Chain A
Amino acid sequence: MTLERELERLTVAAPGSVSGGVALGTGLSDGFSVFESPLGSVVVAFNPLGVSAVDLFTDGFEDRFAERFRRQLLEARPPRDWERLILQALAEGTPGSLPVDFRSVTAFQRQVLEETAAIPRGETRSYGWLAGRTGRPGAARAVGQTMARNPVPLVIPCHRVVLSNGRIGHYGLGGAERKRRLLRVEGAIS
Chain B
Amino acid sequence: MADNLATELASDLDESFPQLVARLQNGVFSGLRQLAGDHHRAEDLTQETFIRAYLALQSYPAERIRDMRLRGWIWTIALNLFRNDVRASARRPVPVRLEDVGYTQSEPPDSRAWRRRWALLPPAQRRAVILRHVAGLSYREISEATDRPASTVRSDVRRGLARLRSAIEEETNKEVGG
Q: Which residues of A contact B (CB under 8 A)?
A: 3-4, 7-8, 10-15, 17-19, 21-23, 25-26, 28
Main secondary structure of the interface of B (DSSP, over half): helix
CB contacts (< 8 Å) of B164 on chain A: these are: 3
CB contacts (< 8 Å) of A28 on chain B: these are: 14, 17-18, 54
A26 B54 Cβ-Cβ under 8 A: yes
For the A-B complex, the count of residue pairs with Cβ-Cβ distances under 8 Å equals 70
CB contacts (< 8 Å) of B48 on chain A: these are: 25
Q: How far is the CA of A80 from the CA of B47 in the complex (A)?
A: 19
Q: Which residues of B contact A (CB under 8 A)?
A: 14, 17-18, 21-22, 25-30, 33-34, 43, 46-48, 50-51, 54-55, 114, 129, 133-136, 161, 164-165, 168
- The residue of chain A having its C-beta at the shortest distance from the C-beta of B47 within the complex is A21
- The residue of chain B having its C-beta at the shortest distance from the C-beta of A23 within the complex is B18
Q: How far is the CA of A147 from the CA of B163 in the complex (A)?
A: 69
CB contacts (< 8 Å) of A12 on chain B: these are: 26, 29-30, 33
Pick the contact of B21: A7, A17, A22 (CB < 8 A): A22
Q: How far is the CA of A138 from the CA of B134 in the complex (A)?
A: 67
A14 B161 Cβ-Cβ under 8 A: no
CB contacts (< 8 Å) of A8 on chain B: these are: 133-134
A3 with B134: in contact, given A12-B26, A18-B43 (CB under 8 Å)? no
**Most interface-central of A8, A19, A22 (chain B CB within 10 A):** A22
CB contacts (< 8 Å) of B18 on chain A: these are: 19, 23, 28
CB contacts (< 8 Å) of A25 on chain B: these are: 47-48, 50-51
CB contacts (< 8 Å) of B50 on chain A: these are: 18, 22, 25-26
A3 B168 Cβ-Cβ under 8 A: yes
A3 B30 Cβ-Cβ under 8 A: no
B160 to chain A, nearest CB (A): 10
Q: How far is the CA of A28 from the CA of B50 in the complex (A)?
A: 12
CB contacts (< 8 Å) of B129 on chain A: these are: 7
- The residue of chain A having its C-beta at the shortest distance from the C-beta of B14 within the complex is A28
